[in-house]
Every structure is written in C-alpha cells, then in structure tokens.
Amino acid sequence: MELRTLKYFVAVAREENFTRAAEKLFLTQPALSRAIQSLEDEFGQKFFERGRLSVKLTTDGLEFFRAAEEILSLVHKTETKFKTRGNIYGDVYIGCAESDAMKFFARAVKAVSERYPDVRFNLYSGNIEYISFRLDKGLLDFYVTLQNVDASKYDSLTLPAPDVWGIVLRRDDPLAAKKFFTVEDLQKLPLILSREGMREEYPKIFGSLEKFRVVATYNLLFNAAILAREGVGYPLALDGLIHDRELCFRPLEPKFISSLKFIWRKNSPLTPQAQVLLAEMKSLYA
C-alpha cells in the first residue's frame, strides 16, 4: 500500500464519485478506478458500494477511511516538522473545547501570527475521546480543555477568568425573569446536557444525575441552542457561548465554575512553530 493510493481512496470517499475525484487528482477515471480496485484486492475487502452515479463507503470502507485520514494527517505533520527546521512557518494543531475563555488562547495566536505570518493554526473540536486520541498519537500539538489533567502525561497552563455554568433559555420564557437557577429549580425542568460535562463537571455540581430529567445530550452547544430555541428543553452550559437574540443565560446559584487548561504531552518534541506558540502562552499565562 502506497501513500499515493491512500490519497486516492480518501478523495473518492469525500467526493463519492470517481469522475470528480479523478478531476481533483488530475488522473483519468479508469486509472483511479484501477488503483481503488487494487487497494480492495490487497486487503480482501470491499470498501465502496458502486452505484450508477455515485459510490458510498461500506462499513469496512468507513473504518479504513478513518484510519487513512489519521495516517495522512500524521504524514503531513511529520513532513512539516522536518521541512520547517530552522525556520518558523508551517502548521500547529490544537484541540479546542467550547469556552469563552478561548479568547485568551486567541490572543496568543494573534501575537504569534503577527510575528510569524507563515504559521497556520488548525483547530479541532469534538468529543474528548476523539481529541485525546489525536493528542496522544501526536496528531495534535496542544489541547485546550475543561477536563481534569493527568499530570503524569501532560504539562499544563490554567487560563484566567474561569467559566460560569448556567441555563440557556428563551428570552420570552417566563423563567427568564429569574436571576439565577438552583439545583431544585433544575429538577423541575427538561434538561439538555453536555456529554463531556456529564463525565466530570456535572457530578461535581449535582453528585448524581438520576434526579434530573434529561431529554437530550449534546456535543456542541450550537445544536443544543437550536433545541432550546424550539422549546425542547434547557441546555446546561457555560456563559459567553450563546450569541442568539432569542436566547439568554442564567447562572446557577450557588455559583459553579470551571477552569480552562492548555495542555501538551510531557517529554514530547514540538515543532518550532508549536514551540513559539507555547512560549507565547507561557509568557502570558504561566
């Protein structure tokens, strides 16, 4: 298996069409089809269901696609690392939580960008398993997270201005007249909870979640906000993330806060451009 063939496979999977993929790859369609067929023969698996106008990944194809993307990402990161030695340019890869405190990280990015305009920052959002896996495998340089940090694996900085937890609700909801919500108030509401918050943050606030009615869970607050706008329930979220004229935020009482942390792997070499970002973060927040 060659890297070139992996690139062909990923292009077909994304385009869901051999002709369009071939055009993007500057190949003929028959040559691309032969390369994919050879790849399937090599692994003894059928990666695509071929239709008259499009192709779809099979279950095996989807699994292979995810692995191929990881491999190509690592190859690109490795190439960048060695090509940029002695120069400050190239890519930095960062996993990001949803938090208004990301503005502190953004200030470091802005400072580095102004000094080194050829450095590019690639942000990844997703669930903690996805981001942690990429960080541990060296596919990410840093992770900005609300989660507890394993000090045996990672070094970290804590960003200023901790986040405040509360409820998101419609502005025309009669409950919007309340200045804050108590735990007893939440027990009467249909809640929409962050899956990552359910791991660590919510148990700190509530202990057990069994006494609450959870109508939905979310990964990114954007979609939870749509549910709130349509009256499905009340997302429990961090302040500063909702920018919707129909919605508002009310904090919990007593107040509960979480701190955002900037983490990186211990004893792991960083690219020059990642080192520059880390130095800027330390100068601002160490």
Residue 79, domain member (yes or no): no
Q: Kindly state whether residues 147 and 215 are assigned to the same domain.
A: no
Assign residue 107 the CATH number of its domain.
3.40.190.10
Contact 200, 147 (CB under 8 A): yes
Q: Other CB atoms closer than 10 Å to residue 18's CB: what's the count?
A: 21
Count structural domains, the chain: 3
Q: Kindly state whether residues 239 and 181 are assigned to the same domain.
A: yes
Q: Kindly state whether residues 277 and 220 are assigned to the same domain.
A: no
Q: Output the CA torsion sign for 195, 266, 161, 110.
A: negative
Percent of the chain with pLDDT over 70: 98
**Closest-CA residue to 218 (of 95, 102, 126):** 126
Residue 65, domain member (yes or no): yes
Residue 208, domain member (yes or no): yes
- Residue 81: pLDDT band (50, 70, 90) is low
Assign residue 52 the CATH number of its domain.
1.10.10.10
Q: Kindly state whether residues 270 and 217 are assigned to the same domain.
A: no
Answering whether pTM is above 0.85, one says no
- Residue 86: pLDDT band (50, 70, 90) is low
pLDDT of residue 85: 55
pLDDT of residue 122: 94
Q: Kindly state whether residues 137 and 213 are assigned to the same domain.
A: no
Last residue of a domain, one of 46, 72, 98: 72
Note the pLDDT tens digit of each residue in 136-146: 888 899 999 88
Can you tell me which residue has the tokens 């500063």? 240
Note the pLDDT tens digit of each residue in 183-227: 999 999 999 998 888 877 788 778 888 889 999 999 888 999 999
Residue 25, domain member (yes or no): yes
Residue 38, domain member (yes or no): yes
